[in-house]
Chain A
Amino acid sequence: MAKIISNREIAPDTYLMAVQGKYSGKMGQFYMLRSWRFYPLLSRPISIHDINDDSISFLYRVAGEGTVLLSQLKTGDELHLEGPFGNGFPELKGKVAIVGGGIGAAPLYYAAKALGSSSEVENLDIYLGFREEPLRLEAFEALANKVRVQLGGNVTELVNPNSYDYIITCGPEAMMEALYKKSVGSSAKVYVSIERHMACGIGACLVCTCETKSGNKKVCKDGPVFLGEEVYHG
């Protein structure tokens, strides 16, 4: 069991929770979290928002019974974590754009941190779209020279795929699909991070399936990161 350092509501229904301990994980991977014993039955898959020497943090939106319970945790309360699970984003080089929508920004902070410090990455731009209020804008701004924010509209309109070698994205499916479609024929390869309800989190139970060009994939193990062309082939 790990101890909660802090758990703050940073925007309506959106919490930033820091947990004490040494944790590992690549950008785009996730942990299965629970702060309760048996009910609700399933743990909640939450992406890594950030890892430091002595803590890990999660940025999550309250969406159901499990995240309500997580949001009620106070400093010093206990949390059970299993992970890191999933493939995560690949190591990238050249010109990279990060595109996030809503709570999809959560794993992209850790990704921006990793990519921003990579000697292989020549240029890193960040595009974030939110319905009303930006999430952790200052933190993102500390990681890249160019951070553009779209409130209420369509963030994909700001992105010119031909300016990049790679684009990584996480957010609503419609946004990611639009971004992938816009990138077809451009210089950019698009990696998308998919969300599904999960049970085991490790690839054993087959409930988080995503249909891809090469058949059914397990979002928890083969993903959550896939090439856009694999997922949006239809």
Chain B
Amino acid sequence: MANLKVQFGSITMKNPLVMASGTFGFGKEYGQLYDIERLGGIATKGLTLEKRSGNTGMRIWETPSGILNSVGLENPGVEAFIKEELPYLNNLNVVKLVNIGGKTLQDYVDAIAMVSKEKADMIELNISCPNVKEGGMAFGITADSTRRIVRAARNATQLPLVVKLSPNAEDIVKAAVVCQEEGADGITLINTVKAMAIDIDKRKSIFDNMYAGLSGPAIKPIALRMVHEVCKNVSIPVMGVGGITTWKDVVEFIMVGATCVQIGTANFIKSTIPLDILEGLEAYMVQEGINSLEEIRGII
């Protein structure tokens, strides 16, 4: 039998499938539909220090092979998360990534410090959400601002720190190198691509917030290229994410160097799609005589 286990820095995962932030809530809903302990990990919905009600107007728009979302970081805030959502997650035998976003450096630091007092496996630092005007992605655009935020986050926690980078960064390789220099334990790559859609009858953007984030198979080739570039230039592990829908997609991301992958938009195609992916991945490894994903990691 093939061994799907992966080692992401100090964290061991039973398989390389992590559910991407924003597509899996805090696990409960999918937990009612199937055994989510079969997953490698779960990244929580993006949290901010204070509760946010998110964006107004249309929040979802289907595009060829993808979706645009404009949720705008609606979340209950870190305190409510710790009280109401974390206990459920902590009862699960999966790796928990607590995704943290914010408007100011201090917001990030305070939120991370609060989560770090709790039982969580990793902090996923979200500096790449394109859907909030003032915050999030602004930190992920230049290497300098990336350095400032990663340094502050690093000082705020002893937990393994993974930085979720934006495909909208000026220089993705530079941003990743900065994360490594500042002591991040890993990188998640990529968040959604800033994009838009038009309502020609109303003659305006579909979204109240003008722009939205594109995800799904439409962005997979971009994500693959960025994961490949980054993996060639850093030694910390990378979680590849962007349009992964089949086991073949997972193999592609591993071959360009990803240690594990995140499944996001595909969860909306079929709720149990991660189980299909796991089954396919295992069959592929058996057929190819691959004992560990290490054997094909970064071969391209």
Contacts and interface: CB of A to CB of B under 8 A. Distances in A.
- Identify the interface centre among A38, A202, A207, A208: most chain B CB within 10 Å of its CB: A207
Interface in A144-184: none
A216 B24 CA distance: 18
Contacts, number: 89
Given A41-B268, A43-B270, 15 more contacts: A34-B269, A39-B65, A41-B217, A80-B270, A82-B33, A82-B270, A200-B267, A200-B268, A204-B23, A204-B25, A204-B30, A205-B71, A206-B45, A207-B60, A209-B59
A112 interface: no
B271 A206 contact: no
A221 interface: yes
Of A38, A43, A202, A206, chain B has the most CB atoms within 10 Å of the CB of A206
Contacts of A34: 269
Interface residues of B, number: 33
A40 B218 CA distance: 12
A205 B53 contact: no
Nearest to B265: A41
Contacts of A40: 62
Contacts of A42: 60, 62, 67, 268-269
Interface residues of A, number: 27
A221 B216 CA distance: 23
Contacts of B59: 197, 206-209
B65 to A, nearest CB: 6
B30 A197 contact: no
17 contacts: A38-B245, A41-B65, A41-B67, A42-B62, A80-B270, A200-B23, A202-B29, A202-B32, A202-B33, A203-B25, A203-B29, A204-B23, A205-B71, A207-B71, A208-B59, A209-B59, A211-B56
Given A39-B65, A41-B65, A209 B54 contact: yes
Nearest to B67: A41
A14 to B, nearest CB: 22
Given A41-B216, A41-B265, A207 B69 contact: yes
A211 B56 CA distance: 9
A88 B44 CA distance: 28
Contacts of B33: 82, 202
B268 A43 contact: yes
Contacts of B270: 43, 80, 82
A12 interface: no
Interface in A95-129: none
A203 B31 CA distance: 12
A199 B60 contact: yes
A210 to B, nearest CB: 11
A214 to B, nearest CB: 12
B65 A204 contact: no
Contacts of A198: 60
Nearest to A198: B60
B61 interface: yes
Complex A-B, nearest 5 residue pairs according to Cβ-Cβ distance, in ascending order: A204-B25, A207-B60, A207-B59, A202-B29, A204-B29
Given A209-B54, A209-B74, A43 B269 contact: yes
A215 interface: yes
A176 B22 CA distance: 32
Contacts of B23: 200, 204-205
Contacts of B77: none
A207 B71 CA distance: 6
B65 A205 contact: no
A65 B45 CA distance: 29
B66 interface: yes
Contact of B29 (A65, A82, A200, A216): A200
Contacts of B62: 40-42, 65, 197
Contacts of A38: 65, 217, 245, 269
B283 interface: no
Contacts of A211: 56
B29 A215 contact: no
Given A38-B269, A80-B270, A216-B53, A205 B216 contact: no
A176 to B, nearest CB: 19
Interface string A34-61: 1000111111000000000000000000
Interface in B9-48: 22-25, 29-30, 32-33, 45
